[in-house]
Amino acid sequence: MDTDVLIVGAGPTGLMLACQLARRGVRATIVDRHAGPARETRALGVQARTMEIYAQLGVVGRALELGKKGTGANIWARGKWMARLPLSDIGGGLTPYPYLFILGQDDNERILGERLRALGSDVAWNTELTGLAQHAEHVIATLKLPDGATREVRCAWVAGCDGAKSAVRELNGIGFPGAPYEHVFFVADVEATGGMKPDELNVYLWKDGFHLLFPMRGENHWRVVGILPEALKGKEVGFKDVEPSVRGEAGADLVFQGCSWFSTYRIHHRAATRFREGRCFLLGDAAHIHSPVGAQGMNTGLQDSYNLAWKLTLVVQGKSDARLLDSYDAERVPVAQRLLRTTDRAFRIIVSDSEGARLLRTQVLARIAAFAFRLRPVRRFAFGTISQTGIHYRESALSETKPGLLDRSPRAGDRFPWLKLKFSPGGPVEDSFQRLDDLNFHLLAFGQHVSAMHKHFQVHSIPEDPHNAKELARASIPAKSYYLLRPDGYVGLAGTKFESGAVERYLSTRMGLAS
């Protein structure tokens, strides 16, 4: 083999997969047809689940240095300030990153690229995938090299992280059903002053649509997103052309000093009919695209990579049966389909031309949002959904919950909650996300002692202690229970009384791990 995994595309999805494979010691090659990293900001919202993964990857400090915490969202309707939704601690207690984080896609790609180089790998730019031939034991990929010559590369697996027009998807004949929305959107990075609340998200709702102003790094730097006015559709336009409509709806006192990037785009909502064909996988925009409502796109691609990386590692290293890889498609297709449904519903309300939707936008939405945000369950539900910490794989073949747990306890398929625990009697209180790395399986045993010697997982027998008891009660974890965590932090197996045989059976039958 020339390489074990060929990663096609060095956007955020491909870079994340390359980093995850490199740190696990898997031989991977990453190629991109462009000459270098994209310069456009595009995605801006980094969700808490992504920040958790960045922490495991050792880049969260760099992200915090370059980005901004979104402390609140201000809703304006017909030019009047209506409500502020506090966001700085909306997910308090659920994650070390309980806010929406604002960091441009270009910075995310820079951080991931730096990490990849530190791990001893790099992107082969100006290198395009043009052909694929699948065989029983390998794939032959045809690459067009920077000098125009072609080269055939023999690899065990191909990861299509090559965006919405994915060659990997098309060469495999995988459908991408869906449709474009009729509206055309614009996006602009500007320098501006005005009545908007500084350093916070400002949402301007008006009868024909919306304008969003996101604070960006640097003084008076804002990202403006909106619907292109009907009269400008189909024309060559620049920011100067949309400025009157933004000023008209978002405030006449807005003064724009400059615009560093302007683009218009049509949004589609589509999902690939399957995310795997033989030895080829689809991840990120190659697998699913949808409206930018909720800032989910880039984050979902990063989670696709995180889901696939540890599974590919076990298979490439000969520790697991290749059947483990079936769970990538089985776990990630439902996530993408749910995302398409929810973003589509939210988006239609925001852009609908119907009289009811106009009234909802300008008269009702801000009031409902402000009221609902005062209710803790609503805040928590909204945070779990948007931050992607609430995503679960309960239906997956890799998830097994034994009888005896409480209905409200974390179950197999859930992201194991963030806890502060004493891991040894009389020891310090530790952050579970820092203590448990993402390169191994971990067994957490509560209220029982488990011998520390196991081939496939690290054991943590958590001592009985008043601090731990309080923390377990907070997370609805029974005092006597055990949780086997997969490397990506999801619960694989959960039960009350630990039995070594049950865990071994789970690992061999469900994970395909050789005993």
Specify whether the backbone of 278 is left (phi greater than 0), alpha (psi in -120 to 50) or beta.
Answer: left
Note whether 196 binds ligand FAD by CB under 6 A. Answer: no
Query: Binding residue for ligand FAD (CB under 6 A) from 161, 280, 386, 412?
Result: 161
**9 interacts with ligand FAD by CB under 6 A:** yes
Phi-psi region of 57 (alpha: psi -120 to 50; beta: other; left: phi over 0): alpha
Instruction: Please tell me whether residue 12 binds ligand FAD under the rule CB under 6 A.
Output: yes
Contact between residue 295 and residue 100 where contact means Cβ atoms under 8 Å apart: yes
- Could you tell me if 194 and 253 are in contact, meaning their C-beta atoms sit under 8 angstroms apart? yes
Among 251, 284, 384, 487, binds ligand FAD (CB under 6 A): 284
Kindly report the CA angle at 73 between 68 and 75, in degrees rounded to 5?
A: 150
C-alpha 513/C-alpha 413 separation (Å) is 18
Q: Is 188 in the site for ligand FAD (CB under 6 A)?
A: no
Binding of ligand FAD by 343 (CB under 6 A): no
Q: What is the DSSP letter of 355?
A: H
Binder among 297, 410, 489, 492 for ligand FAD (CB under 6 A): 297
What does the DSSP assignment read for 342-357?
A: HHHHHHHHHH--SHHH
Q: Which of 31, 83, 158, 324 binds ligand FAD (CB under 6 A)?
A: 31
Least distance to ligand FAD, CB of residue 288, Å: 9
Q: Which of residues 31 and 119 has its CB atom nearest to ligand FAD in the complex?
A: 31
Q: What is the DSSP string of 222-239?
A: EEEEEEPPGGGTTS---H
Distances (CA, A) of 17 to 12, 100, 311, 318, 430: 9, 23, 12, 19, 29
**Alpha-carbon distance values, 423 to 22, 92, 426, 434, 464 (Å):** 30, 22, 9, 12, 10
Q: List the one residue from 13, 389, 432, 481 that touches ligand FAD (CB under 6 A).
A: 13
- 381 near ligand FAD, rule: CB under 6 A: no
Name which of 95 and 299 has its Cβ closer to ligand FAD. Answer: 299
Crossing angle (nearest 10°) for helices 376-386 and 365-373? 100
Among 14, 215, 447, 495, which residue interacts with ligand FAD (rule: CB under 6 A)? Answer: 14
Nearest approach in angstroms of CB 220 to ligand FAD is 20
Return the range that interacts with ligand FAD (CB under 6 A); candidates 161-169, 274-282, 314-322, 412-420: 161-169
- Please answer whether residues 211 and 224 qualify as being in contact, where contact means their C-beta atoms are separated by less than 8 angstroms: yes
Q: How far is CA 502 from the centre of its chain?
A: 32
**Position 413: which residue type?**
G
CB of 363 to ligand FAD, least distance (A): 27
Under the criterion CB under 6 A, does residue 291 sit at the interface with ligand FAD? no
> Which 38-77 residues touch ligand FAD, going by CB under 6 A?
42-45
Q: Does 488 bind ligand FAD (CB under 6 A)?
A: no
Least distance in angstroms from the C-beta of 48 to ligand FAD: 13
DSSP 8-state assignment for residue 288: E
**# chain residues binding ligand FAD, by CB under 6 A:** 33
Residue of 115, 88, 105, 96 lying closest to 45 (CA atoms): 105
Q: Taking Cα atoms as reference points, which of 202, 37, 41, 225 lies closest to residue 114?
A: 37
Would you say 193 or 385 has its CB closer to ligand FAD?
385
Please state the three-class secondary structure of 414-443 as a single string.
CECCCCEEECCCCCCEEEHHHHCCCCCEEE
Residue 264 lies near ligand FAD (rule: CB under 6 A): no
* 285 interacts with ligand FAD by CB under 6 A: yes
Between CA 253 and CA 76 the distance in angstroms is 14
Tokens of 349: 């309300």
Pick one of 73, 129, 213, 459: the residue that binds ligand FAD (CB under 6 A): 129
98 binds ligand FAD (CB under 6 A): no
Q: Which of 34, 207, 480, 505 binds ligand FAD (CB under 6 A)?
A: 34
Q: How far are the Cα atoms of 85, 115, 165, 310 from residue 108, in angstroms, in the given order?
A: 26, 11, 21, 21
Give 265 or 371: the residue with its C-beta nearer to ligand FAD. 265
In angstroms, what is the minimal distance from the CB of 125 to ligand FAD?
Answer: 9
The least CB distance from residue 37 to ligand FAD, in Å, is 8
The residue range among 158-166, 310-318, 342-350, 397-405 that interacts with ligand FAD, by the rule CB under 6 A, is 158-166
Tokens coding 73: 């969202």
Return the amino acid letter for 221.
H
447 binds ligand FAD (CB under 6 A): no
Binding status of residue 105 toward ligand FAD by CB under 6 A: yes
295 contacts ligand FAD (rule: CB under 6 A): yes
Q: Does 298 bind ligand FAD (CB under 6 A)?
A: yes
Residues that bind ligand FAD (CB under 6 A): 8-14, 31-34, 42-45, 105, 128-129, 161-163, 167, 187, 265, 284-285, 292, 295-299, 301
